Structure 1
C-alpha cells in the first residue's frame, strides 16, 4: 500500500487558510467566553485573572438557576410561537407579491417596486410609537397579536423572493398556464416547490431577527407569560445582588442553541437560496 501524500500548500493558500482560521477564531470567541462563563461561580467570574477553563465547574448549578429563576420552557415556547407565526404570515404574503412583481405585468408595478425599496429604508423604530398607541387603544398589549402583527409584511422578504423569481424560466410559467392552471395554482404548484432554497434562506433571516429581538417585546410586553427569550434574560437582574452572570450565560446558551441547530440543519439550502437570488437582476 502506498502512503498518502499531502500536496504542499502554496504561500497564497496558506495565507488564505490563516486568514480564515483567524476569522473563525474571532467569531467563535464570544461563544467560547459564554460557555466558559456559564461554568464559573460568581466569585470566579470577577477575579482579575482570565481563564477559559473554570477551576471548579458550576455548569449544573448555573443551568439549574437558569431554569428556576424564569420559566425557560415558556420563554422558548413563546419564541417558537412568535417566530413561527411571523414567518408563516410573511411567506404567505411575500411569495404572491413577489411573483406578481416578477412575472406579471400591470400598471402599478413600478410604483409598488418603489414602495418596496422605500420600505427597506424605514426602520421599526420610526413606526414604533404610533403602532404602540394603536395597540394600546385596542387593548392588544401583552398578547401574541402585538408581537406578531407589526412584522406580518416583510418588504425584505418580498425583495428577496422577487430576485429569486426573476431567475425562474418564463417558459415554465407559460407551460403551467397552458395546462389550465390559474395564477394561484401556478404559485402553489410551480413557483413554491421551486422556491424552497429562497424560502429557507428567508426563514433563517426572519427567525434569527425575531428570536433575538428585544426592542419591540420590551415595549409591548410587561406580562412574563408573553415574554420572548431575549426579554426573559432581563429577569435575571437582581436589585440587591446584581446580575448573576453565570446563570445569565447559561440561559443565553439555552436560547442560542436552537438557532444554531436550525442553521446547521438548513445550511445547504440557505447557501443555495442566497446564491440563486443573485443569478438574475
Structure 2
C-alpha cells in the first residue's frame, strides 16, 4: 500500500486535453510547412518585386516589397525589346517536350521488361541501370560533342536533346512502380491474346500516371534550367533555351540593369511555373483515376 501511495496513478487523458494536443501538433506542423513555403517562395517574390522597381530603388538600402514608383512597364518593355525572350521560351518548350516524349517512349517499355518479364541477365541489366545513375552528364560530353560535330548536327534542336533521350532515372522510377502492378491482370490479358506491346501501353501505362506526372516535372525542370550542354553545342541565339538566352541577354549593355534582368527572368520562369501547376493537377488526377492501387 505504501508503494502504491508513492506512485499515484497517472491522470486520465480527457477529451479536452487530447484535442489540445492535436491542435498543438497541427499548429506546429503548419508552422514548419509555412516556414518552408516562405523560404522557397522568397526568391521568386523578390524577383517579381525587383522587376517592377526603378534602378534607384533597387540599389537603395531600404527594403520594401512594393516600390514607391512603379517601373514594371519600362523594365518588361526593355526586356522584350533587347532580346527575343518569347523565342527563348518557345525553344525551352520544344526542348523539354521533345526530350520528355522520347524518354517516356524508351523508359516505359524498358521498365516493364525489367519489372514483369523473366529473361537471363535481367538483374545484371538492372544493376547497370543503377550504375548509370552515378554517371554525371559531364563524363560523356566530349565523345558526344565530337560525334555530333562529325555528323554536322551542332546548332540544332537534336544536338540539345540527343544526350538525354535515355533516362536511367525514368527506367528506375517506372520499374519500381510497375513492380506493384498485379501479375494476375497481365496473365489474364495474355490468356485473352493481348500482345505484350498492348499490355504495356493499354493496360499498364494508364495506371502509371502518378509516376509519369512526377517524372515529367523532374524532366521539365532539369532541362528547362540546363545551361551546361546547350552552352557547348549551341552558338546561334535563335536556338538558345531560356538559361542560355538569359546569358545572351545579360551582356555589357544590360548587365547592370537588374530591373530588366529580373523582368526577363520572370518571363522565362512563367512557362515552367504554369507547366508545374498543370502537372500537379495531372498528378492528382492520376492518383484518383487509376484502377490499380
TM over 0.5: yes
Deviation at 1:198, TM superposition (A): 1.4
Q: Trace 1:205-244 onto structure 2 (pairs within 5 A).
A: 205-239=218-252, 242-244=255-257
Match of 1:4 in 2: none
Q: CA deviation at 1:182?
A: 1.1
Aligned to 1:42: 55
8 Å CA contact 1:161–1:198 kept in 2: the answer is yes
| Equivalence for 2:180 | 167
**Distance in 2 between the 1:27 and 1:228 partners?**
24
Distance 1:262 1:228 in 2: 16
Alpha-carbon distance in structure 2 between the residues aligned to 1:16 and 1:266: 26
CA contact (8 A) 1:204 1:270 kept: no
Shift of 1:223: 0.3
Contact 1:236/1:243, CA 8 A, preserved across alignment: no
1:201 and 1:271 in contact (8 A); partners too: no
Give 1:252's aligned residue. 265
The answer to whether the aligner puts 1:192 opposite 2:229 as a matched pair is no
**What is the Cα-based RMSD across aligned positions, in Å?**
2.2
Of the three residues 57, 80, 88, the one matched with 2:93 is 80
| Cα displacement (A) at 1:206 | 0.6
Aligned length: 271
Tell me which structure has the larger Cα radius of gyration. 2
Q: Which one of 38, 46, 50 corresponds to residue 25 of structure 1? A: 38
Distance, in Å, in 2 between the alignment partners of 1:157 and 1:272 is: 20
- Distance, in Å, in 2 between the alignment partners of 1:119 and 1:272 is 31
65-74 or 40-49, larger mean C-alpha shift: 40-49
Structure-1 separation of matches of 2:56 and 2:248:
21
Alpha carbons 1:94, 1:161 under 8 Å: kept: yes
Distance 1:218 1:273, change over 3 A: farther
In 2 relative to 1, CA 175–246 (structure 1 residues): closer, same or farther, beyond 3 Å?
same
Match of 2:6 in 1: none
CA–CA distance in 2 between the matches of 1:195 and 1:151? 21
Residues 70-126 of structure 1: CA distance to partner in whole angstroms, max 9, x if unpaired?
A: 112211111111111100000000000000000000002011101100000001012
Q: For the structure 1 residues 34 and 262, does the alpha-carbon distance in structure 2 shift closer, same or farther, using more than 3 Å as the test? A: same
Matched, 1:202 2:215: yes
Cα deviation 1:173-225 (Å, max 9, x = unaligned): 11111110111111121112222221111111111110111111111111011
Instruction: Give me the whole-angstrom Cα distance separating, in 2, the residues matched to 1:235 and 1:205.
Output: 26
Which residue of structure 1 aligns with residue 8 of structure 2? Answer: none
Residue 139 (structure 2) pairs with residue 149 (structure 1)? no
Question: What TM-score does the superposition give when structure 2 sets the normalisation length?
Answer: 0.87
The alignment's TM-score, normalised by the length of structure 1, stands at 0.90
Task: Please give the alpha-carbon distance, in whole angstroms, between the structure 2 residues aligned to 1:52 and 1:46.
Answer: 14
How far 1:52 sits from its partner (Å)? 1.9
> Is 1:66–2:93 an aligned residue pair?
no
- 2:147 is matched with 134
> Unmatched 5+ residue regions in structure 2?
1-19
Contact 2:221 2:272 in 1 (8 A): yes
Q: In the alignment, is the contact (CA less than 8 A) between 1:221 and 1:227 conserved in 2? A: yes
For the residue of structure 2 that corresponds to 1:124, the secondary structure is coil
